[in-house]
Every structure is written in C-alpha cells, then in structure tokens.
Chain A
Amino acid sequence: MAEVQAKSQRQMLIRHRGRGAQVRIYLGKMLRMFIYQNDWKVLPMAALIAGLVGMVIRKRMFLTMEGTLMGAFAMVCVCIWNGCFNSIQVICRERDVIKREHRSGMHISSYIVSHMLYQALLCLAQTVVTLYVTQLVGVQYPWDGLVTPLFPLDFMISMFLITYASDMMSLWVSTLAKNTTTAMTIMPFVLIFQLVFSGGMLSLPAWTETLTHFTISNPGLKVIAAQADTNNRPYDSIASMVGKMGDSEIGGTFTVGQILDILQAEDKPIVAELRAKELGKVMTLGELKNALESSATFDTLKNEQLLEGFTVEDVLSAVDKAGLLEKYGDTQIVGSFTIGEAVDFLASNPDVQSRRDQEISVHTTVGKLLDLAGADRVKAFLEEKAAAVNYNPDYDCTEENITSYWLRLATFVLVFALLSMITLEFIDKDKR
C-alpha cells in the first residue's frame, strides 16, 4: 500500500511535455500526413488553377486599369480558393482522434499552433507555385518593388497573406463543423460571402459596406490592386469601344430654328460656355467665322457637342450650307461681343427667322468625326477621363496603403486562429 501511494506521489511530480514540445510532435505528424494523406495534392491543384487563371488575365493584367482590377480579383479568388480547400476538412475529419488525444494530454493550443505552422508552409508553397505558373503562362510582372526591393516578393507576401488568412478562416469552420459533409456544405456560403462582399467588383448597397470589413477578399483585392498600381493604368475600354464603332453612322436632319435654339439654350453648360466666349472685335460676320475658326480655342471648341452628335464645327458648316454667310457675310458687327450675342443677333434677324423651318441634313460616321477631332487625341482624352472617374484612393500604390492591408490580413490570420482555438477548446466540451 505504501508502495502504491509513493508511486502516486511520484506521479504528481512527473512532468510531461509542454505546449512547445507538443507543437513539434504534431508538426512532425502533419508533415508525415503531407506525404501519406495526399495533402501534397494541393500543390498541383494550385498550379492548375493558377495556369487557367493566368491564361485569362495575362493580356491585360498590369497593362490597363480594368484589366489589372479584374486580374487582381481573379488572383484573390485563386488565393481564397486555395486557402479554403487546404484546411476545410483537417479538423472535422479527425474530431474523434482529437478527442482521444486531448484526453491523453494533448493541448488544444499546441494542436492549433502546429496546424498554423503546417498550413503556413503549405500556403507559402502554393503562393510560390501560383506566382511561378502565372509568370510562365505570360503574366508580365513588374520588377521594382515598393516595400521590398523586388515586386515579386511584395506580391508574394500579399498572396501568401490572403491564402493564409483564408486557410485560417476555413480552419475555424472546420472546428465548428461536426463532420466533413457539414464543412463542405458551409464552404460555398463562405466563398460566396467572400467574393460578393469583396467591395471591389460588384456595386453593393450602402448598408452592406460594413460587411466588407469582415471579408478577407476586401483587403486582398485592395492590396493587389494597389501593388499593381491600378490607378495609374489607362482605362481603355471606352476608347476601344468608340474605336470599334468607327463605321457606325450618326447624324440627322435639323432645321435652322432647331440649331439656333440649341445655340441659345443657355441652361446647357457647354452652350453657355461657348456663348460666353468673347470675340471683342469690329468685324463682319464672315470675319467672325474666320476668326472663330482660326482662334486658338477653336480646336477645343469645335469638338464640343451642342446637340446629340453635333459639334460646334457641324453647326458652322450648317450655317455655311444654308447660305447665311453669302447673304450676311459682309454685315458689320460693331463692338466687343460674345458668340452668344452673335447667335442672338442672327436669331433675331427677320430673314433668318423666316428661314427657321429650312432643313439642313448632316450625315457622318463616328470614324469620320474621330478623324476630324484626331482619333489619338480623343482616345487619350477618353482614357484620361475614364481613369479619373474610376480612380480609387484605396488602390493608390503607396507603402502606407500596402502595409496597412498586410496588417489587416495578418489580423485576420490571428483572429481566425484564436477563434479556432477557442471553438475547439469549448465547443462540445461536455460531450467530448
């Protein structure tokens, strides 16, 4: 009896392996599982997905604004997909084993930390594979980095953090799910939530903006878009669309009265601006036209649209065609005046009034108009304006932006890991 009690007392003094040592045990076990349980399959899968996505985005990523944004979204999807499928089943498939090992002295924290380390290695490998494969299929990555000296390294950190955060999120789902079937049922909802509420690709109602703060895809999309310098890429969709419409015919038949009404419609800002131009010289109507056409501002003015499809130049040409200049070309206009005053003068003239119903036909194509205005200038103008409209300060390629997104992603990693630990420690504790 004394011997038994002594053994029992000895037992109280014995020390077993602590949390750190247990992490090593489980990490070793997981690395074995990488070989035996076919976890290695996630690497060729990542390569396959990267190849498919890379082929789609290679021609526009890092070249145009919209192409870069779409490419960034595709890359985020790849990362989230990879991360989610790495760990969605890892805990729920061995709940019974965990229960048994916990009973035998396993610390839940050690178990989760070993998963964190193992999954980090897996995510890193997937990130390297994804970058390599996308580069292989033709995605043109820049070379100079912003936070680190190399862009690929910057980009790799971002992709790793997105993948890893998703991985930890799935690990948490795996701790919540009772079995693999439940986990795989939850998975699509998690993915849809992440993609819909990324806040970048779909326009969402204002009240849902708060939800975007809870998605990994939001900082993920922002960090990739920022690193790819999306804001400084040309937005070429509209210009190329206009270019493709070169043969489309535009034009119509107008009366003199309609044209005069248009030129008198001061509520339209562009007309008001035109009308306010000072000519300020004593001249004839013919001289006015010549002066207008040779003025420095004419180049910008002539392309201003007065009516759907009609520019200032079209109007002047219509006035010409109507023979107004032949009749009134020598009429002197005295004093300083504006274009608006000139138009009003014309409009009040009884002879012009009598010809208000005279029809003038204008027929042209988009291409001809573009040629007239200078196709390259129009394209540059459209690209610049569209880029300005689509500018998003979140996508500014600044070190501050990028590091703040990295920090948000790293926070997600820690929060989900902590949640996994808490869930596994407390959920179902009574029935464990």
Chain B
Amino acid sequence: MLVVQILLVIFARSTSLSDIILSALFMAGIWRIFEKSGIKGWWALIPGAREYQLACCAGRESEGPVYSLASAGSIALQVISLLVSFNSTDVSTVAIMIVIVSLVLWLVSFIYSIRVYAGLIDVYGVRKRWMWLWALPYTSFIPALLWGFGKKYQPAWKVEDIRTEMARLATHGSASVMSDGLTVNLTERTATEFFKKKVLLRDIHMAIPQGHMVLLLGGSGAGKTTYLNAINGYEKAKAEVLLNGTDLYKHYKKMQYEVGFVPQSEMMRGKDTVLNTLMDAARLRLPKEVSSEQRKARVNEVMEIFGLLPVKNNLVEKLSGGQKKRLSISMEFISNPSLFILDEPDSGLDGVMARELFEQLRKIADTGKIVIVITHTPDRVIDLFDDVIVLAKDSARTGRLAYYGSIKEARRFFGRDKMEQIVKSVNRKEEGGDGLADEFVLKYAKEVA
C-alpha cells in the first residue's frame, strides 16, 4: 500500500483521485506539447526531467535546472513525509524542517514555473492571460490539453536535434605543425551543464606564422573568448596547441609566461598605483633570475612604450579608460610573450585612441610576435591586420571556424568588403544576421581540404 502511495506521490503529487486525474490530463497534454516541440513525449512522465524539458520547449533552458531540481526536491520531501509517519500531535523538529524546506522548494518551483510558462506563451504566440490557467494548480491541465492536442496551437520553433545537426555539419582536417608560429588543432571544447554536455567549439584548425597580427571575428556567442582561452591553455580543450613547436598544454606551467592574455575588462586593483601594479606583475611574470635593477628597468621601459610614465604614481582607479587599457596591456607585455592575445582592447575607447592602441599592437607584431585581437569595430583598423579568423555559431549552436586567412582572401571568400558585413553574414537570423554560418563553415572546410 505504501509503495502505491509513494508511486502516486512521485507521478501525480497526490493520493486523492481527483488530483490523480488532473495530473494524468496535465501529463497527457505535456506529452503532446513535447512532441510538437520535437522532444520525446515520454519525458512528460518523469518528474524533474519533465520540468527541464518543458523549459527547453519554452526556450528557457537556463531556468530548467533550478525548476527541475526544485520540483524533484519537493517530490522527494513528500515521499519522506510519507515514509516518516507523523501523527497530528507529533510536532517534531524533523516535521517542522520538512514543512519549511517544502515551502521554500514550492515557492522556488512556482516562481520558475511562471518564467517557463511565460516562455511557452511567447513560443506559442498566444495572449498573456493564458498564464492564469497555467499558474493555478487545478487549471493547468486545460492549457496543457488545448495546446497539446489543438491544431491551431503550434510552437514558433522546435527544439533542435543537436546530434543530427552536428553529424550533418561535421568537418575534418588538421593544420600542419608550424615550428615558428602558433599551430592550433582543436577537435572539441565542451562544457557540462546540468549533466548535459555542451559542445562550445569544434573542428578549428589553423597555423599562424610569427609576426602576424590576426583579427578574431564572430557574432556574440560564437565562442571567441572561449577559443582564446583554449589556445592560451588556461581552459583546456580537446586540442593540440603548439607555440613555436612546443606543446602549450603539456608544458603549460612553463609556457604560460610565453602567452600574454589581456582580458576584456581591466581586472586590476583600483586602489594600487600604476608603478606597484606593474612591479608586482613583473615579479610574478619575469624569471626568478632577473635582478631587481633589471626588473625596474623593464617596468620603466614598458611604461615608456605605453605612455604610462607620467601617471606612474597614480592610483589605477584614477586613470582614464585609455590609460587603464594600456596598463592592462603593459602587465602582459612585461614578460615579452611570443603570443599576445587581446579581448576587445578598444572597448570604451574613441576612434583616435583605439587607432593609436592598434598601431602600438602592430608594432609589437612587427617585432616577431603573434598578436590576436578581438574587436567589434574592425573596419577602422583593418589595414593594420594580416589575417582574420571568423568564428560562427552553426545550427547545432557550436562555435565553428568559418574562415582563416588573409584579409584580402576573406573579402573574396565571403563576397563582402567590410568585416562587419562578414560578421553579419554568419550571424543567426534571430540575431539580425544573414544566417549563413553553416554554408560558410562547410565551404571553408571544403576549400581547405
């Protein structure tokens, strides 16, 4: 009898007949909604997973884990209450705790269900007033059945079958190792979120010679920063990254000083002075053997190169946007790295200042270093670059290499003059782009092959 009760609680959240009927109707409706969205209908029967899949159907995947865990937790507590039989006079501490935690979980679950239903309403393009029926516990079966079985209710888009798309868009290849440059053979960069493996980047192969200044282009979410983190070895991918013939991943502890990574935001302590910030950066990045005098000389040299000498005793927080950028670059430049990576160094800078900064980067590249730069306003400085990397999010929502080569060739390849037009061409349609990412990914793979 207890087993039946537990099963009823797990699947219907109640042991009363009316509630069981309502739950069954709700699940039947959700089954059909899942099928309409391209998800297997039987997920509707599994509590916890049902909520996550519903969030996916509603385009609110990020809300899914919390919604799912709160619902599953709530059910688990109901089962525990059944197992630990409390009589009406037994107000034990455990019972009180269970009630409190249940209330919290119910509230979380309710709030997240509202978010998910709001997403579902958007996907089905119906009026907001449907929310009342969804949100109330005894009426939610009505919209579930109507939307599930009604032909007039159709979702605006389906949950994509990622695996099929990934198989369709698979490309193969590898870049031959360059002994005096950067060779990247990235097979896959994945991340796990809520037990679900997500492929962030795939099949990116290139060899960048020394002395090249490379522009990294791509729409938002294409994986530019992820790619840079992968090639500098900080967030390792399934890849082989060789810098001047040495494996960066295998010898990361030694080679990390050969890579200078300037992050998008300044990431410096505002209450420290410019000189102290650079001195600490030098102590951290320069070899142990470098004497104090040599270190000071190097710091002065870098400050001179980046025009920071007049403000060397100022607090970092008092610097202008341009000065902060230059200080941030100086911190990495102090160890004289072979590979210099900059994530949007011109953000917040006006055209003139940005141009000056990129000219400085060009000079650095001319000394035989590889400089890779992400920028969202490439056309004003495109003459300073040698090559361009174009990353694009394919229809499996994975960052892919749509192009790597010279600027001139890139214009021919994409059939567009401006770099911003190239970005637009590979961006997804819902992001205001042309949605040609898949085409260019396959075209580039074909050309390289």
A104 touches B246 (CB 8 A): no
- Pick the contact of A16: B257, B261, B272 (CB < 8 A): B257
Q: How far is the CA of A104 from the CA of B235 in the complex (A)?
A: 13
The verdict on A17 contacting B276 (CB below 8 Å), with A1-B180, A97-B269, A432-B234 known, is no
- Pick the contact of B258: A11, A29, A430 (CB < 8 A): A11
| Residues B254-272 near A (CB distance < 8 A) | 254-258, 261, 263, 265, 267-269, 271-272
Main secondary structure of the interface of A (DSSP, over half): helix
Residues of A within 8 A of B284 (CB): 16-17, 22, 25, 101, 104-106
**CB of A363 within 8 Å of the partner chain:** no
Beta-carbon contacts of A1-43 to B below 8 Å, as 1s and 0s?
1001101110110111110011001001100110011000000
Q: How far is the CA of A432 from the CA of B284 in the complex (A)?
A: 19
Residues of B within 8 A of A29 (CB): 269, 272, 276, 280
B288 touches A7 (CB 8 A): no
Q: How far is the CA of A94 from the CA of B265 in the complex (A)?
A: 12
**CB of B245 within 8 Å of the partner chain:** yes
**CB of A99 within 8 Å of the partner chain:** yes
**CB of B285 within 8 Å of the partner chain:** yes
Residues of A within 8 A of B283 (CB): 17, 21, 25
- Pick the contact of B256: A9, A100, A104 (CB < 8 A): A104
Q: How far is the CA of A18 from the CA of B285 in the complex (A)?
A: 11
Residues of B within 8 A of A15 (CB): 287-289
Residues of B within 8 A of A299 (CB): none
- Pick the contact of B271: A18, A36, A105, A205 (CB < 8 A): A36
Q: How far is the CA of A12 from the CA of B285 in the complex (A)?
A: 14
B263 touches A21 (CB 8 A): no
A interface residues, tally (CB under 8 Å): 37
Q: Smallest CB–CB gap between B268 and chain A, Å?
A: 6
**CB of B25 within 8 Å of the partner chain:** no
The verdict on A1 contacting B271 (CB below 8 Å), with A29-B280, A96-B265 known, is no
Q: How far is the CA of A14 from the CA of B289 in the complex (A)?
A: 8
The verdict on A12 contacting B271 (CB below 8 Å), with A17-B283, A17-B288 known, is no
A33 touches B245 (CB 8 A): no
In the complex, the chain B residue whose C-beta lies closest to that of A6 is: B244
B interface residues, tally (CB under 8 Å): 41
- Pick the contact of A103: B256, B265, B268 (CB < 8 A): B256
**CB of B412 within 8 Å of the partner chain:** no
Residues of A within 8 A of B271 (CB): 32-33, 36-37
B244 touches A5 (CB 8 A): yes
Q: How far is the CA of A103 from the CA of B339 in the complex (A)?
A: 14
Beta-carbon contacts of A123-158 to B below 8 Å, as 1s and 0s?
000000000000000000000000000000000000
**CB of A189 within 8 Å of the partner chain:** no
Q: Smallest CB–CB gap between B344 and chain A, Å?
A: 15
**CB of A426 within 8 Å of the partner chain:** no
In the complex, the chain A residue whose C-beta lies closest to that of B263 is: A100
The verdict on A4 contacting B180 (CB below 8 Å), with A12-B246, A432-B234 known, is yes
B261 touches A4 (CB 8 A): no
Beta-carbon contacts of A397-429 to B below 8 Å, as 1s and 0s?
000000000000000000000000000000000
In the complex, the chain A residue whose C-beta lies closest to that of B286 is: A16
Q: How far is the CA of A15 from the CA of B276 in the complex (A)?
A: 22
The verdict on A14 contacting B257 (CB below 8 Å), with A4-B210, A25-B284, A103-B232 known, is yes
Q: How far is the CA of A215 from the CA of B93 in the complex (A)?
A: 20
B267 touches A8 (CB 8 A): no
**CB of B315 within 8 Å of the partner chain:** yes
Residues of B within 8 A of A101 (CB): 284
A103 touches B269 (CB 8 A): no
A21 touches B256 (CB 8 A): no
Beta-carbon contacts of B325-364 to A below 8 Å, as 1s and 0s?
0000001100000100000000000000000000000000
A33 touches B280 (CB 8 A): no
A97 touches B267 (CB 8 A): yes
Q: How far is the CA of A105 from the CA of B258 in the complex (A)?
A: 11
- Pick the contact of B255: A11, A103, A430 (CB < 8 A): A11
| Residues A25-84 near B (CB distance < 8 A) | 25, 28-29, 32-33, 36-37
In the complex, the chain B residue whose C-beta lies closest to that of A103 is: B234
A-B contact pairs, 19 of them (CB 8 A): A5-B244, A7-B338, A8-B246, A11-B255, A14-B288, A15-B288, A16-B257, A16-B284, A17-B288, A25-B280, A32-B272, A33-B272, A36-B272, A96-B265, A99-B267, A104-B281, A105-B256, A105-B285, A430-B191
